[in-house]
Amino acid sequence: MFTSLTRWMKAHKLVAFFALTFLISWSTWFIVILTLPEMDMKNISAGGMLLMIIGQWGPALSAITLTALTSGKAGFKELFGRFKYRRGAARWILAGVCLWTAIWLAATIWQARVTNQALVFQGNQWTSILSLTISALPLFFWGCEEIGWRGFALPHLLTRWNALISSIVLGLLWGLWHLPMFVGIKGLTPEMPFYTYVLFTVSISIVMTWLFNHTQGSLLVATIFHFWFNKWPNYQYNLLPVDDPGGHIMMVSFLLMSACAVLIVVVCGYRSFNRTIEKVSQARLAASKA
């Protein structure tokens, strides 16, 4: 039976990956949800927090399990080899960091102007800088998602479909994976409709595929960018506080990111989001026909 299951997983790696990821993450998270006092994250126990972390590691655990069962040592070398620094990766890390920083800053300035708030830079908030630096150390926390999403799933998707379809499929499933967050838990549920969040994950997925395909599939770049778009809003708020009870800054930022995703598709092409890759592929195709 185990041999048959392994054979099925080899033939259906993507289906097996997403099924196992959702099984691990949703089962642990819903146990927390069903036992969480008053549906408030402030009341979570140590055991509940451990289950939340296990659920967060669902994509990585799924990718590692499937790699062990279907690819062995060679698969692990390829998967974790993506964390190695790739030549030219620094400028793409900078591109991703600057893109999200500029988007969030533009949304903050817009919110301040619309609500007639003064923008005052809090340069003395050195503790926020220290906090960001410390929180950047365990990048593995964001890597636990990226090992699965960009380390395992995206390469397999790209062997089946072009960059646009692959990014949309991954973005939709990535967004759906977060669905338990939207059941009304205090301190966890985002202040936005679920469909808005999914639009964001699809847009981010396109941007991350763009970065991924320009860095030879770097998981290091994907992990750093994932960390940055999660942490930068809190960091900026400490340095440039603006009242935003309605969550308008986040909504405008999501819309701007969606616009950037559309721009990437239009400018770089939907096949790979990388004109260089397409030119090399066309040259090889022409040479094979000669």
Provide the CB-side half-sphere exposure for 287 (13 A, CA).
6
Among 111-125, 203-217, 272-286, the range scoring the smallest mean pLDDT is 272-286
Pick the residue with more confidence: 137 or 11? 11
Q: Is 247 exposed, middle or buried (0-12, 13-18, 19+ CB in 10 A)?
A: middle
Is the pLDDT at 135 greater than 90, yes or no? no
Does residue 221 carry a pLDDT above 70? yes
Whether residue 19 is predicted with pLDDT greater than 80 in this model: the reply is yes
pLDDT band at 187 (very low <50, low <70, confident <90, very high): confident
- Quick check: 289 pLDDT over 80? no
To 10 degrees, what angle do helices 89-114 and 219-239 make? 30
The most confident of the ranges 126-140, 160-174, 214-228 is 160-174
Residues 6+ apart with CB under 8 A from 271: 162, 163, 164, 278
Q: Which residues contact 58 (CB under 8 A, 6 or more apart)?
A: 20, 21, 22, 23, 24, 25, 28, 148, 177
In this predicted structure, what is the pLDDT of residue 285? 41
Euclidean distance between CA atoms 98 and 91, whole angstroms: 10
What is the model's pTM?
0.92
Average pLDDT of span 195-220? 96
pLDDT value at position 165? 98
Work out the mean pLDDT of the chain and round it to a whole number.
Answer: 89
**Rg, Å, the chain Cα set:** 20
Residue 36: pLDDT over 50: yes
pLDDT at 132: 67
Q: Write the pLDDT tens digit of every residue in 39-82.
A: 888 999 999 999 999 999 999 999 999 999 999 999 999 999 99
Helix H segments across 137-162?
Answer: 140-148, 154-158
Q: Where is pLDDT greater, at 133 or 290?
A: 133
User: Is the pLDDT assigned to residue 178 strictly greater than 80?
Assistant: yes
In the predicted model, what is the mean pLDDT of residues 231-257?
A: 90
